[in-house]
Amino acid sequence: MTDQRPFRFGVVAESVRTAEELTAVATRAEELGYSTLTLRDHFVAEPFGDQLAPMVALTAAACATRTLRLGTLVLANDHRHPVLLAKEAATLDHLSGGRFELGVGAGWLREEYERAGIPFEAAGTRVDRLEESLRILRSLLAGEKTTLSGEHYRVRDLTVFPSPVQTPPPLLVGAGSPRMLRIAGRHADIAGILPRALPGGTISGEISERTPETIARKVALVRESGRDVELSMLVSPTFGPDPRGCAARVAVLRGWGTSSTDLVLDMPSQFVGPPEHIAEQMAARRERYGFTYLLVPDRDMERFAPVIGLLA
């Protein structure tokens, strides 16, 4: 592939529980050269631990930093009406001086829906609703007077205040299934490639969802639109002097067994070995797949920082 985007790196602040932790992670991420600080969107503790409300917390992070971009990874569409979300996104972009990136998905965690009393409808219905929502969000955040009469949302002659600094702020769609990947290709600025969500309300843990062949197919589905969409992925770095030994450790910890060591070595979301080797892996996989926006959990933020320096 030619004319690749430059790398940029983000932190998912999933272990943050307090204002002090949030400020510390945000300011340290900025110091280390990360592009973005992102927050998940869950109101049950499993599987990622308790989470701060993302839009409010990102506003606080914006006030504590100067250049760090702020993002959601990702908001569940069913938790917010798109008109209200557009107003919050526009306000956060305005208050941060144009540093917000809006990440949205269809929602997938059945237990969360059920415990909150939100109907967990069939995947097709949730995805239909998301696609309508994306059209509304894109139009409102671009400063357009918006009218849409859909099956799930009806908006008439509406604009959003305040005007975002970015018109519109970058839109990320988290996607793992073929239909979602095509939607990301049509509507998003950034496609966050994920394992597929399962009908029972979980994310697939199958190794087949993480192989080079599967990831290449997912990228191709995004690219069907012909649009220039940035490709993103949450990655897992495992540091150590021996890449193969690190891969074997990952295979065992993930329950895939040591026989899967070679698969882990080639897995696009897994990076193993010393920082120099991981940087080489990332450069090679950018060339092969096109991923340029990579995110790590905040627990790996310090250890991963040397890789940023190697790829800057």
**Per-residue pLDDT at 2:** 46
pLDDT in tens, 228-286: 999 999 999 999 999 999 999 999 999 999 999 999 999 999 999 999 999 999 999 99
- Long-range residue pairs from 121-126, CB within 8 A, at least 24 positions apart, any chain: 123/177, 123/197, 123/199, 126/77, 126/78
Residue 170 DSSP label: P
> What's the predicted TM-score (pTM) here?
0.96
Of 47-51, 55-59, 75-79, 222-226, minimum mean pLDDT range: 47-51
Dihedral-angle region of residue 226 (phi above 0 means left; psi in -120 to 50 means alpha; beta otherwise): left
H/E run at residue 293: strand 291-297
Instruction: State the average pLDDT for the chain.
Output: 96
- The per-residue pLDDT for 310 is 97
Tracing tokens 């949730």 back to the chain, one arrives at 126
41 within 8 A of 54, measured Cβ to Cβ: yes
Peptide bond into 16 cis (omega under 30): no
1 versus 165: the higher-pLDDT residue is 165
Listed residue (107, 15, 56, 36) closest to 293, CA to CA:
36
Q: Residue range 75-97: average pLDDT?
A: 98
User: What's the average model confidence in pLDDT over 146-174?
Assistant: 97
